[in-house]
Structure 1
Amino acid sequence: MTGATVHAQGDYTQQMQSTLAKLDNAKAVKDYQLLADDFLRIAGVQKNEWLPYYYAAFCNAKIGWLKQNDDPDNIEPFANKAAEEIKRAVALIDTARQKKQLAEIYCIYMMQNQARVFINPQTYGRQYGPAAFNYLQMAKQADPNNPRVLYLLGWQKFATPKCGVAIKRWQNSY
């Protein structure tokens, strides 16, 4: 019985490494869709592992970001998938002790909320923009040295329009 468990864990590690190697080369929506499916297949076998759900959520949030300029009307299904998958990931960690993992999860929450802003900034910006910002602040608090948090904070600052005085005033209040 122990041998089967070790073998299954070895298969999990190999599958994750192989799929993550493909993630490093992903560029197009189709690449991320295939990878999200691969991560979900791994999650279906390894039901107690949070990482496959995390990466599936990342892929779907990334699709939303890629569609922002060319296909914003079709972002919502991917943002919804990302939200569902990241909830599964957070359910599998100990949020009180696994702060670094929690910071990563908050980054995905930020990305899926920001993807919703891309659908229609004037309609969804007020609701999802502050939520995205709040998740980044929570990620920063959970792990101040996380490079993904710093990258997303920089991206958010860079992407804030110069005329967004109200947004800047809101962000400066935190």
Structure 2
Amino acid sequence: MKKLVFGICLFIGMNAFSQTAYEKAMSEKIALVENHKTADDFTALANDFKRIGDKEKTQWLPYYYAAFSTIQKGRMAMREGKLSDLDPIATEAQKFLDFAMDLSKDNAENLILQKMIHGLKMMVNPQERFMSEGMLAADALSKAEKIDAENPRLTLMKAEDTYFTPEQFGGSRARGLELFQKSLDQFKVYKTKSALDPNWGKGEAEYFIANKP
């Protein structure tokens, strides 16, 4: 009996240690996501997250962050005018996101990233791709809203779209700023499921509100 109890305690202890090691590794990498500066940094970080995911096998968050890191690389390329890089980056991000979606279905956070991936593809040629990638992006965001309407990252995506879309196509900087403010308000009360769950985006909303005309 004593051996059985000892064995159970040992198993529980080892399992707890393993989980703690996973959380520690993830926390360290997550802290780097919004602070990286180069495409190579994001590539390395995405690969680190994938390695964690491949080791854990059942956790969706490592693959989510691998996709998010790759999307961040794409948004950097977009700001630098490297539009020819966007399709391969989006394809790379999609591979990571597919793993996350397989492990966590009907997940608003994954759908928000899906929207962002379609957005990267659309920006290669907005006029030609709006009716394809633009519509797919809108559909992903609509599905996310049905699952988690008060998610501040969802509102942040709406704010970006509204702010940067020309007025003749339905955009509005004033309305965009209202949505950035709404996102900030949501960040104040939104509760993540765990310390590892997505919590990015507040800094961007703060930037636009602080720099509004």
Normalised-by-shorter TM-score class: 0.7 to 0.9
Cα deviation, residue 19, structure 1: 0.3
Larger RCO (alpha carbons 8 Å, 6+ apart):
1
Given that 1:62 and 1:111 are in contact with CA atoms closer than 8 Å, whether structure 2 keeps it comes out as no
Q: Within 1, Cα distance between the matches of 2:95 and 2:73?
A: 15
1:59 and 2:69 aligned: yes
SS in 1 for 2:33: helix
Q: Within 1, Cα distance between the matches of 2:73 and 2:111?
A: 18
Cα deviation, residue 110, structure 1: 0.3
SS in 2 for 1:70: coil
User: What's the counterpart of residue 140 of structure 1?
Assistant: 145
User: Superposition pairs for residues 59-98 of structure 1, below 5 Å?
Assistant: 59-68=69-78, 69-95=80-106
Given that 1:61 and 1:79 are in contact with CA atoms closer than 8 Å, whether structure 2 keeps it comes out as yes
1:112 and 2:105 aligned: no
Q: Within 2, Cα distance between the matches of 1:124 and 1:94?
A: 27
Structure 2 unaligned spans of 5+: 1-10, 173-213
**Deviations along 1:25-50, whole A, 9 cap, x unmatched?**
12332322221111111111111000
User: What's the counterpart of residue 124 of structure 1?
Assistant: 129
Runs of 4+ deviating beyond 4 Å = none
Q: TM-score by structure 2 length?
A: 0.70
SS in 2 for 1:85: helix
Structure 1 unaligned spans of 5+: 96-101, 169-174
Q: Within 1, Cα distance between the matches of 2:50 and 2:30?
A: 13
**Which of the pair has more CA radius of gyration?**
2
User: What's the counterpart of residue 172 of structure 1?
Assistant: none
Cα deviation, residue 151, structure 1: 0.5
User: What's the counterpart of residue 32 of structure 2?
Assistant: 22
Given that 1:65 and 1:118 are in contact with CA atoms closer than 8 Å, whether structure 2 keeps it comes out as no
Q: 2:59 aligns with which of 35, 40, 49?
A: 49
Deviates more, 1:64-73 or 1:146-155: 64-73
Q: TM-score by structure 1 length?
A: 0.85
SS in 1 for 2:91: helix
Given that 1:64 and 1:79 are in contact with CA atoms closer than 8 Å, whether structure 2 keeps it comes out as yes
1:164 and 2:169 aligned: yes
Identity in percent: 29
